[in-house]
Amino acid sequence: MGCSKGFFLISTIFFLSCKPIFSDLIFNSKQVSEIPINFLNFAKKAEVLDWMVGIRRKIHENPELGYEEFETSELIREELDKLGIEYKYPIAVTGVVGFIGSGNPPFVAIRTDMDALSLQEMVEWEHKSKNPGKMHACGHDAHVAMLLGAAKILQEHRELLKGTVVLVFQPAEEGGGGAKKMIEGGALENVKAIFGLHSNNFLPLGEVASRSGPVLAGSGFFEAVISGKGGHAAIPQQSIDPILAASNVIMSLQHLVSREADPLDSQVVTVAKFQGGGAFNVIPDSVTIGGTFRAFSSESLLQLKQRIKEVITGQAAVQRCNATVTFDSKDRPFFPPTVNDKGLHKLFERVAGDMLGTIRVKEMQPLMGSEDFSFYQEIIPGYFYFLGMQDETLERPAPAHSPYFRINEEALPYGAALHASMVVRYLVESQTGTTTPAINGYRHDEL
């Protein structure tokens, strides 16, 4: 059942007038607990859903890579203008930060990413990517639509906002570290907490999943050039073979996890790049290898980084080769682990439970994937969760980063309503003192 704005206004006025005596009663009231389902019903209205679907499809047709999201950013600003929402632009080249509410503390943020991937779309449909070699294969088009949907909900019910909601539209999540540049640009100024979500094609529609503490791994990238001495493949004694050296390096790198890491401290080292040689009978002068390393604590990541360099240079030297190792770059920054605040996890369980039912709020195992949302969590308490959008009409849902990836648009109202409900509940509980996240208090809790 929907709820009118008048109902919300009466509830809010009553809450404010009675707060000194009845704050706990109001927080536990049926009115507050029904806000999430009322927001969901609002987001499911045909005109609201169609509007979000239209935005998502327009972005999907025109995918843009990190720091190139100029058309996407323009579309976002046009929609914010129509909604009467103030914003700052540009931040981090193409980023947009909007503001809804009183303009006064407390400030709480919702974040979305908006960049596409370098991928040729293989799904044949009316709104297929028009930009060759670029595709929204990770759901960021839907993420933008859901945050704009949340903005519409909040603007329609802004009398509930006893504080300010900050809308963070972020570029370059896919390896470019856009979150870090948004922070440097002042996107988190005065913000006390931040929320973000990601679509999940393997989680049933209408379900959500997350956990307190580490939820996604931190990650880094490495690249090494192993140099020897080229020559004829039939006379190897006159050469110094960098391919053999690189092969030994790769085998030795695998031992960092199997022989040096604590089995209870999950880590990954993967070599995914190997370039060297161009002829069957020529030993090349050099070989380039590269890969990624991941862990759930910053300490483990730094240890892996040190040992990767030692192993590469040491094993290359055994084979009489030289090696130079580089880590990260301007285009591929180091990502910290994504670690959810304990207090915000409890808030998430309350809000999602009120909207979906507690049975549809799942505790998930940590994943070795990474997210630059973690940069925000290094500064303030943050919470990141996964939104189910499995399409039961598909026999085999495609994973993210697949050219066959599809979005189930029926999930858009859930994401929009959850975004809006999380920040409204955060502001309400901030007034009553119920939400007391320990800023980084758990940061060293490891798996």
Every domain of the chain and the residues it spans: 18-216+337-432, 218-327
Residue in the block written with tokens 């979305």: 112
Beta bridge partners of 216: 338, 367
Task: Report the Cα–Cα distance between both ends of the chain, in Å, rounded.
Answer: 42
- The answer on whether 321 is annotated among ligand-binding residues is no
- The answer on whether 60 is annotated among ligand-binding residues is no
Question: Residues 382-415, buried b or exposed e (16+ Cβ, 10 A)?
Answer: bbbbbbbbbeeeeeebbebebeebbbbbebbbbb
Beta bridge partners of 96: 169
For the structural domain made of 18-216+337-432, what CATH number should be given?
A: 3.40.630.10
Contacts 24+ apart (CB under 8 A), 310-314: 311/249, 311/252, 311/253, 311/256, 312/222, 312/224, 312/226, 312/249, 312/253
pLDDT of 436 reads: 52
- The answer on whether 345 is annotated among ligand-binding residues is no
pLDDT of 255 reads: 96
Longest CA–CA separation in the chain, Å: 90
Looking at 114-230, which runs of residues are DSSP E strands? 164-170, 191-200, 208-210, 213-216, 218-227
Question: Residues 130-155, buried b or exposed e (16+ Cβ, 10 A)?
Answer: eeeebbbbbbbbbbbbbbbbbbbbbb
pLDDT of 13 reads: 41
pLDDT of 175 reads: 87
Answer yes or no: same fold for 18-216+337-432 and 218-327: no
pLDDT of 432 reads: 76
Residues 354/37, Cβ–Cβ less than 8 Å: yes
Tens-digit pLDDT string for the chain (447 aa): 444 444 444 444 444 444 433 333 344 467 788 999 999 999 999 999 999 999 999 999 999 999 999 999 999 999 999 999 999 999 999 999 999 999 999 999 999 999 999 999 999 999 999 999 999 999 999 999 999 999 999 999 999 998 999 999 999 999 899 999 999 999 999 999 999 999 999 999 999 999 999 999 999 999 999 999 999 999 999 999 999 999 999 999 999 999 999 999 999 999 999 999 999 999 999 999 999 999 999 899 999 999 999 999 999 999 999 999 999 776 778 899 999 999 999 999 999 999 999 999 999 999 999 999 999 999 999 999 999 999 988 888 999 999 999 999 999 999 999 999 999 999 999 987 766 554 444 443 444
Residue 346, judged by CB atoms within 10 A of its CB (0-12, 13-18, 19+), counts as middle
Q: Residues 116, 118, 120, 122: is their CA dihedral positive or negative?
A: negative
In the structure encoding, which two tokens stand for residue 175, read together?
């390896």
Report the 10 Å Cβ neighbour count for 244: 18
pLDDT of 29 reads: 61
Residues 331/372, Cβ–Cβ less than 8 Å: no
- The answer on whether 173 is annotated among ligand-binding residues is no
Residue 365, judged by CB atoms within 10 A of its CB (0-12, 13-18, 19+), counts as exposed
Select the CATH number that applies to the domain covering 218-327 from these four: 3.40.50.170, 1.25.40.10, 3.40.50.2000, 3.30.70.360.
Answer: 3.30.70.360
